[in-house]
Chains A and B, each alone.
Chain A
Amino acid sequence: MEPTDTSHPDYYHRVVDCQWACPAHTDVPEYIRLIAQGRFTDAYMVNRHSNVFPGILGRVCDRPCEPACRRGRIEQQKPVAICRLKRVAADHRDEVAGRLPKIPKAKNGKRIACIGAGCASLTVANDLMPLGYQVTIFEQYGEPGGLMRTNIPSFRLPHTVLNEEIAMITGMGVELKLNSPVGSLRQLLTGGGFDAVFVGSGAPKGKELKLPGREAAAANTHIGIAWLESVAFGHIDRIGKRVLIIGVGNTAMDCCRTSLRLGAESVKVMARKPRGFFKASEWELEDAEEESVGIIINRAPRSFVIENGRLTGMLFDKMEYELDARGRIIAERSAGEEFLPADDVILAIGQENAFPWIERDLGVEFDKWDVPVVDKTTFQSTRPGVFFGGDAAFGPKNIIWAVEQGHQAAISIHRRCHGEAVSERLAPGINLQSRKMGMHEWSYANDYSPVERRLMPHVSLKERFKKLNIEVELGFTAEQVEQEVQRCLNCDVQTVFTAKLCIECDACLDICPVDCLTITHNGAEAELRTRLKAPAKNLEQPLYVSAGLPQTGRVMVKDEDLCVHCGLCAERCPTAAWDMQKSELHWPLAVDEARMLEARKPKIA
C-alpha cells in the first residue's frame, strides 16, 4: 500500500465516526469534553455552530452518529448517548444571546425568500442574517417550526424548547410572514423582488392507502401526519378506544403514543414485515413498547370492514416470508386472514413532498416522480436562483439532514448573490494540535471507562398520560452525565505517527490494549489486512500505513477500527514518533465563504 495521505481532511475526519456520520459534522467529542468540564454553554455553542438546534436535536434527532459510534464496536457495548448529552448542554446552558452572531445594521441589499418556516429555512436565515441579508420566511400556519411543531408530539419535544431555539433565529430580524401560504412561485419570482428563493416546504403530504372500504371508513380513518398536525394545533383532542396504526416508521410511533394520550386503551401497530425490516428507530420502538403498544408483525392490510356504515375494524393477510442467507426477502405469500376490531385507523405509511404551487413552466424541472431536480452539492434547482433543502429537496429525512442542506443552500445563495459560481465552494480542512502536556500528561482524559450506557430516566407510566404535553424523558441526572461523558473515547484525539522518528522498539505494539498496531512488511491492502496483529475485518474502517521505517524499511500499520484513543502508544514511545493530536474539522459555512470572498476583494491602496 502507498503511505496513507493523512493531510487529506477526510482521513482523520473518518476516524471520528460520529462526526463523519453526522450530516452537519458536529464536533461531538469536543462538546462531550466541554460537558465533562461543566462548560455547558460552550458545549451548546459548539453544537449550535453545526446543527443550529441543539435543544431540539438533543431530544428528537435521528442520531446517525450513535450507530456509527466506535463504542458500539467495542465489547459489544451500546454507543455513547451522544444525542441525550446534547440535551444536557442545552438544558444546563446559560443565556446565549450575547454569543449569537451579530446582525449588521447596514444590510447588503440582497433579499431572500424562504418558503416554509421549518428547520431548513430557519437554518438558511440563521446563516444569512449575520451576513447582512434581508430574509423573509413565508409560513402557511400561524406558528413557525414546520414539521418540528406539527409532527413531533410535545411529550417528546416541549414547545418551550422549540420556541426558544426558533426565536434565536427569528430574533435576528427575519421577516416572518405567518399564515401566508405561497400560492404561486411565479408570483414570488416576478413580483417579490427577491434575489434568491429557498424552498424549504418539507414533505407535507401523507401517503394514502387505497383499499376497499377506505371511503366508507373516512370518518374514522386518519392520515398520520395530518392527524398529528391537528393534534398539535388542538383541533383533535380525542380518539376511539381501539386504534390500529398502519405502518411502522417513526411517524407511526408518534401516532400510537399520541393516541394513548387522547384516550385510546388498546393501540396496535400493524407491520407488514418482520422486525428487522422496520423503518422506526430502535429507541422509538422501545419507547412505544414501554407504553404497552402492541406491535404486530407480518400483517398486510387487505380491507376496511364497515358495518352499518361505521368502521368496525380491518382485515389483514397473514404474511409469510422466505429469506435468503443475507436475510433479504425472496418470496412472500399469504397464509390466511385475520380480522382486528378498531374504532379508529391511522395511516402512517410514508409522506412525500408536494408542489402544486410551483408552475411547471418556470424552468424548475421535475423528474418522472414529480420530484424537483436538485443538485446534491449546491441544492440549486434547474432554475438558477431557486434552491431547495430539507424534505422538500430529497423527500422525508430527519431534521439534522435538513439543517445541513440549509447550510449548503446558504453558501450557494451567498455565492450567487455575489456573482460567483455556486459549484466552486470552499473545501473542508482539518487542523491538528498536540495534546501533550508532559511526560504522561495529556490535555484530555485518556483512561478507558468500562461503564455501560446510562439509561434515560422516564416519567412514570402513571403520570405521563395525564396530559398530552408531559415530556416523557426527564434528562440525565448529574451522576449519569458524569459517567456517560467518560464513555466517549475521544476519537478526535488522533494518533499521529512520524515514521522517520521510529526506532521499531515495539513498545507501542506491546502496550496497545486492542492490538490495532503492527510493524510488518508492506503489501496489498487485502493481504495486509490478514497479516495484522489482530485481523482487520471491518473494511469500512481505513488502515493507516506509514512510510518505510528508517531501520528496516518495514511499515507501521494501524487499523483504526477499534482504537480506544487511550494514548498509551504515544506514552510508550521513546522518540515521540506517536503523538496524540486533536483534530479540528473545518467544515465551511456561509460565513466562511463570505470571509473568503471578502479577503479576495482587491484592496484599495
Chain B
Amino acid sequence: MTFIAKPKVAHPSLPKNALGFTRRDYEGALSTLCAGCGHDSITAAIVEASWALAVEPQNMVKLSGIGCSSKTTAYFVSGGHGFNSVHGRMPSIAMGANAANRALQYIGVSGDGDTLSIGLGQFCHAIRRNLNMLYIIENNGVYGLTKGQFSASADVGSTAKKGETNFQPPIDPVLLAMTLGASFVARSFSGDKQQLVPLIQAGLRHQGFALIDVLSPCVTFNDHEGSTKSYAYTREHYEPAVHADFVPLEREIIADYKEGETLPLLMHDGSRIVLRKLDTAYDPTNRTLAAAQIQERMKAGEYLTGLLYVERSQNEFHQLNATPDAPLNSLPYEVLSPGAQGLEKVLARYR
C-alpha cells in the first residue's frame, strides 16, 4: 500500500489503442494490498489486456466477492461498472447482470477462498450454465485477509507461515472446471505477464465461461519455505505447456507458424488464438487426455500452465435459453412486459 497515489504523469511515448486511450486510462484506484502482492500484477495484466483489446470502459462489468482478491476489481478500469458481492456469491450477481444485458463484457475476480470454499457451489453452476464471462481466480493457497490460514487450494504437506502442516487435499479449480464441461480453462502465474496477458485477452473474447486460475503468491503470509505457492516455489515448479498467442481480428497473421507445432483457433468474433505447444506431448483440445496429464504432473509436484483446455463448440447461456439478442434495457416496453392479456396467457399454461 502506498500513501501517495500513482502520479498521473506518463511516459510520452505510451501507445494509444483504437479508442485513443493509453494503458494508463485503464487503471483504477490506488491498491491497498500489501507491497509485492501477486494480485497487483494480475491487475496490471488485466489493465494491459483491456487496453490491447480496446475494451470500452463503460462496457466492462467488474464483479467480485470477498477477500484480498475481491478488492482488486477497484484497481482497474475505473470507468467500468462494478459490483462487490457477498462472500462467494459473485457468480449469481454475474448471472443476473448477464441475463439482463448480454452486450457487456463481464469479468469476475475471485480468490481461492471465495471460489473454492464458500462459493464452490455458485462457481460450479456458473460453469454449468456456461455463463459468458471471464472468471479469474487469484490463487494463493491462503486466507490472507484473516492472517494466513490454509485455504481449500493449499497442497498436502505445505506449511503455514508459523509452521503448521496442511493435511487436507486441495481442490484444483482447473480439474474441477474441466470435469464440469468448461470450454476455456487456463492456468497462469502472476509473475509471467507474457503468458497471462494474451490469456486474459483470449478469455475476454471467448464466448462462454472462461476460467483462468492464476497462481498469485501472498507475499505476507505464504511466501516462505514450505509454501507451495511462493514466488520461488512457483517459478521452480512451473511448466508452461501451451502458450496462447491472441491475434485480434484487425491483425493479420503474418507469423510463420510451423505445422504441427501450432494450432490456430478461430473465435466467435473472428479473432484467433494461436496455440503453441511448449510440451509436445500435451493436447489442449482433448478434455480427457488433458485432464489426465494435468493430474499426473500435479502428482509430480508441477504446475502445468498455459491454455490447458479450449474448445469453440459450446453454446453459452443465452443461446441455450434462446433469450433475445438485444440487452433487455434496449427492448421496447411492450416487448418487455406482456401486459395483462399476455400474463393471462402465461398463467393459463399452468392451469
Contacts and interface: CB of A to CB of B under 8 A. Distances in A.
A605 to B, nearest CB: 56
Given A510-B41, A551-B232, A551-B235, A574 B4 contact: no
Interface in B176-199: 190-191, 193
Interface in A63-78: 73-76
Interface stretch (A257-265, A340-348, A498-506): A498-506
B346 interface: no
Contacts of A75: 9, 12
B251 interface: no
Contacts of A562: 11-12
A503 B191 CA distance: 10
Contact of A574 (B9, B12, B35, B190): B35
Interface in B131-174: none
Nearest to A550: B232
Nearest to B194: A520
Contact of A514 (B9, B34, B36): B9
B25 interface: no
A572 B7 contact: no
Interface in A532-588: 534-535, 537, 551-552, 562, 564, 566, 568, 571-575
Interface residues of A, number: 36
Contacts of B9: 74-75, 448, 450, 513-514, 564
Contacts of B3: 440-441, 571
A450 B217 CA distance: 35
B7 A507 contact: no
A73 B13 CA distance: 11
A504 B6 contact: no
B14 A513 contact: no
B35 A507 contact: yes
A566 B11 contact: no
B267 interface: no
Contact of A568 (B2, B12, B36, B223): B2
Given A503-B231, A510-B40, A573 B8 contact: no
B201 interface: no
Contacts of A571: 2-3, 35
Given A514-B10, A562-B11, A564-B7, A505 B36 contact: yes
A511 interface: yes
Interface string A71-107: 0011110000000000000000000000000000000
Which residue of B2, B10, B11, B219 has the most chain A CB atoms within 10 A of its CB atom?
B11
B10 to A, nearest CB: 6
B295 to A, nearest CB: 27
A507 B11 contact: no
B37 interface: yes
Chain A interface SS verdict (over half) = loop
A498 B2 CA distance: 21
A446 interface: yes
A317 interface: no
Given A446-B4, A510-B43, A504 B35 contact: no
Nearest to A562: B11
Which residue of A73, A441, A450, A511 has the most chain B CB atoms within 10 A of its CB atom?
A511
B38 interface: yes
B43 A440 contact: no
A503 B223 CA distance: 10
Given A446-B4, A511-B2, A573 B35 contact: yes
A562 B223 CA distance: 33
B1 interface: yes
A440 B7 CA distance: 15
A323 to B, nearest CB: 26
A284 interface: no
A593 interface: no
A503 B232 contact: yes
Nearest to A513: B7
A574 B39 CA distance: 13
A505 B13 contact: no
A575 B4 contact: no
A447 interface: yes
A515 interface: yes
A534 B35 contact: no
A440 B30 CA distance: 14
A572 B13 contact: no
A507 B190 CA distance: 10
Given A76-B12, A534-B11, A572-B36, A511 B219 contact: no
A535 B15 CA distance: 11
Given A75-B12, A574-B35, A505 B219 contact: yes
B191 A506 contact: yes
B44 interface: yes
Interface in A419-470: 440-441, 446-448, 450
A74 B14 CA distance: 12
B12 A507 contact: no
Interface in B1-55: 1-4, 6-14, 24, 34-38, 40-41, 43-44
A441 B1 CA distance: 12
Contacts of A510: 40-41, 43-44
Given A503-B219, A505-B217, A537-B13, 4 more contacts: A440-B2, A448-B8, A510-B41, A534-B13
Q: Which 7 pairs between the two chains have the least Cβ-Cβ distance? A: A574-B36, A448-B7, A510-B44, A440-B3, A534-B11, A505-B36, A506-B41
25 contacts: A73-B12, A75-B12, A76-B12, A440-B3, A450-B9, A503-B232, A504-B231, A505-B36, A505-B37, A506-B44, A507-B37, A509-B44, A510-B41, A511-B40, A513-B24, A514-B9, A515-B11, A564-B7, A564-B9, A566-B4, A568-B6, A572-B36, A572-B40, A574-B34, A574-B35
Interface of B: 1-4, 6-14, 24, 34-38, 40-41, 43-44, 190-191, 193, 217, 219-220, 223, 231-232, 235
